[in-house]
Amino acid sequence: MSTIITVTTIMSMYMNLTTNVENSKYCYNADIEDGKVMAMVVYDKDGESLNAKLKRLYTYDEQGRLTMRETLVWNSDKQTWTKNSCLSYNYDTEGYTVEKRLWNETKNDYAMAKSYSRYTILMDNVLAVNNYKYDNDSCSYVLIDKMLMLTDNTGRLMAME
């Protein structure tokens, strides 16, 4: 269970999104290379027309683990995609950390994460999740909540506080 966020996970999410198209408000188009989802565009379904909504770009490491998921939003005035946020995934032997960073147009870079989640593998099928938030007074991250995530043999997650 050393590889947590894999190509298979991303493909599974895509397949789940595209199986009930008739009842969905959205349509999805994935760019897949070598079995990996590299990008996914989400469209609003408005009657017979589709309007671009957002685009997700996926980056993987040499082990096939997800390292970044960037979210871009469609700017209809400029007719272009603009960066909005990203999720960064950092792995180590005990688990992984996910931090959300918002795009800073002034600095033309992602801002420091205001919060992050730490996923630690405790044993087979048990994951500890600790959520941290940046505290401006102490200039450090503080624990705001924690829970255990249990998985059954199918890989579905069940949360327990």
Q: What is the pLDDT of residues 69-123, one digit of tens each?
A: 999 999 999 999 999 999 999 999 999 999 999 999 999 999 999 999 999 989 8
**Cα-flanking dihedrals φ and ψ of residue 93, to 5°?**
-70, -20
Q: What is the pLDDT of residues 144-153, one digit of tens each?
A: 999 998 876 5
pLDDT mean across residues, the chain: 85
Amino acid at 44: D
pLDDT of the residue at 161: 44
Interatomic CA distance for residues 94 and 98, integer angstroms: 14
State the burial class of residue 23 (Cβ atoms within 10 Å of its Cβ: 0-12, 13-18, 19+): exposed
pLDDT at 11 > cutoff 90: no
